[in-house]
Amino acid sequence: MTRNVSTVLASMIAACALAGCSDTRQPVQEARTRIAATLPAPYFEDLVTESVSVDGDRLVLLVRSPAGSAAKTRGAPGFDALKDSEQAALRDLCGRPEIMPLLDTEAVLVRRFVDREDVLFFEVALPARACASPPADAPAQP
């Protein structure tokens, strides 16, 4: 019986290795620890990257607007364009040394934007594996 369990376990580990499975918890926790040591930090204009947390395989950077109102901003013209620009800007995280160990994992990079009352403006996410490929709207290289 022990031999059968060992054989099955070895097969599962080999299959996972071939499929690119990896344990994401440790590298995500390490990235959180390294990034947390640099926070709070200015993000853009009056926005501040206030904290970083781990939610499963998600590395979540909390960006706060100390003066903004999520309710007012969500109803403003150009809100969708703002969200789209932040989605594109999320790729900037890909080059950070703290993020590099996550590129071969199932980690997801997240920026969560909140107002002074912790009300969500929006959240953007990018699988860390996507850092290895150019964005779909990137210009072709000559």
What CATH number did the domain enclosing 105 receive? 3.30.300.250
Across 17-30, b (16+ Cβ under 10 Å) vs e yields eeeeeeebeebbee
Indicate whether 10 belongs to any domain: no
Express each pLDDT in 46-96 by its tens digit.
999 999 999 999 999 999 999 989 999 988 899 999 999 999 999 999 999
> 44 to each of 10, 47, 63, how far by Cα in Å?
49, 5, 10
DSSP state of 118: -
Indicate whether 84 belongs to any domain: yes
Q: Distance (Å, rounded) from C-alpha 66 to C-alpha 50?
A: 11
**Which candidate, 17, 23, 38, 39, places its Cα nearest to that of 102?**
23
Structural domain for 90, as ranges:
22-132
Express each pLDDT in 93-140 by its tens digit.
999 999 999 999 999 999 999 999 999 999 999 999 999 876 665 544
Indicate whether 61 belongs to any domain: yes
Q: Distance (Å, rounded) from C-alpha 33 to C-alpha 105?
A: 17
Indicate whether 14 belongs to any domain: no
Indicate whether 1 belongs to any domain: no
Indicate whether 12 belongs to any domain: no
Name the pTM for this structure: 0.78
**What is the DSSP code string of 86-107?**
HHHHGGGGGGSTTTGGGTTSS-
Indicate whether 97 belongs to any domain: yes
**Region label for 105, one of left (φ > 0), alpha (ψ between -120 and 50) or beta (otherwise):** beta
Q: How many domains does the chain have?
A: 1
Residue whose token pair is 């580990």: 13
